[in-house]
Amino acid sequence: MKLPFLSKELAKRIQQSEIEYLTSRISSIGERPGNPEGVEINQYGQTVAYYIKTMPWGIFNSVKGLGDEDNDKLVEIIEFYDARDRGFQIDLNPTQCSAKLFGKLAELDFRQNGFHSVLYGLPREDKPILQPNITISEVVTEEEFDHYAEIHCLGSGMSLSYKHHFVNNNIGLLNRKGWKIFLGYLNGIPAGVGVMYISEDGIASCALAATAPSFRNQGLQTALISRRLHEAHLAGCELVVAQASFGSTSQHNMERAGLHMAWTRSIMTR
């Protein structure tokens, strides 16, 4: 199978696959009894706005899928966040964008604040060959999930005193439709995690990844990416997509695994 050229149609599918997995992930947080984190997801035409009251970070307060067709929705989107006294970012992909949209964003005081890489590639038919000291297993029990939450917490640069937040806000992904969570062991010790989402459109997204700091640079993320590429093949997916900070180690790991740059996303803020 040959990697398809990036057409406008394919770009829209890749963009939509990210919207689908992020909507599923944030919805799982909002489905906790009483919605304690204050999750809201609003649709504006083809554009989706995400808000989590207790999480002020950009990824959880972002606008996805904005294009020319929703140019007239921008004021309404701003009012949504202003009413909640929350800053937000627009993740702007080069799909369906023109000078008209850029002009409207400038008129409303938006400016570019960063870049983010979007990659795509093919599933891998061959079962990955791992280093002798690395094993990968799928997380299917709450005990295994506890290891996942600890590694995700440490890998995000947080103290283990915050681990309960990672448990509470990610446990909804365990055995949720479309989601697979993998735990990487180094010499038998839980050390890295990788998560994927399989859409109904035949695209697998490498959604989350982390390695405990003391176990980095030992091949765990390469192994976890390879496992997810193979799982995408087993699920009958056509493509695998991923996102990473521009020029980061994560991007380099994905490129070494065979993924290619689709585009560099602009992050817009006011």
pLDDT in tens, 95-141: 889 999 999 999 999 999 999 999 999 999 999 999 999 999 999 99
Q: Indicate whether 71 and 15 sit together in one domain.
A: yes
Region 252-262 average pLDDT? 95
- Short-list 216, 185, 181, CA closest to 196: 181
| Domain end call among 118, 147, 171 | 118
Cα separation, 258 vs 255, whole angstroms: 5
Q: Indicate whether 111 and 138 sit together in one domain.
A: no
Arithmetic mean of pLDDT over the chain:
95
Pairing of strands 134-138, 203-211: unpaired
Q: Indicate whether 60 and 14 sit together in one domain.
A: yes
Region 136-161 average pLDDT? 93
DSSP 252: H
Whole-number pLDDT of residue 1: 77
Q: Indicate whether 12 and 109 sit together in one domain.
A: yes
Q: What percent of the chain has pLDDT over 70?
A: 100
The percent helix, strand, coil of the chain (3-state, each to 5) is 40, 30, 30
Q: Indicate whether 94 and 141 sit together in one domain.
A: no
Whole-number pLDDT of residue 65: 96
* Structural domain count, the chain: 2
Within-domain flag for 125: no
Q: Indicate whether 14 and 112 sit together in one domain.
A: yes
Residues forming beta bridges with residue 80, ordered by sequence position:
none
> In which band, very low, low, confident or very high, does the pLDDT at 88 lie, cut at 50, 70 and 90?
very high
Which domain, by its residues, includes 41?
8-118
Whole-number pLDDT of residue 248: 92
Q: Indicate whether 12 and 112 sit together in one domain.
A: yes
2 exposure class (CB count in 10 Å sphere: 0-12, 13-18, 19+): exposed
Q: Indicate whether 79 and 164 sit together in one domain.
A: no
Within-domain flag for 98: yes
Residue with tokens 């984190």: 37
Region 183-202 average pLDDT? 96
CATH number at residue 158: 3.40.630.30
Pairing of strands 260-269, 134-138: unpaired
Region 48-77 average pLDDT? 96
Whole-number pLDDT of residue 96: 85
Within-domain flag for 124: no
Q: What is the pTM of this model?
A: 0.94
Q: Indicate whether 141 and 207 sit together in one domain.
A: yes
| Domain end call among 118, 143, 161 | 118
| Residues 194-247: tens digit of each pLDDT | 999 999 899 999 999 999 999 999 999 999 999 999 999 999 999 999 999 999
Residue 68, pLDDT above cutoff 80 = yes
Phi, psi of 181 (to 5 degrees): -115, 135
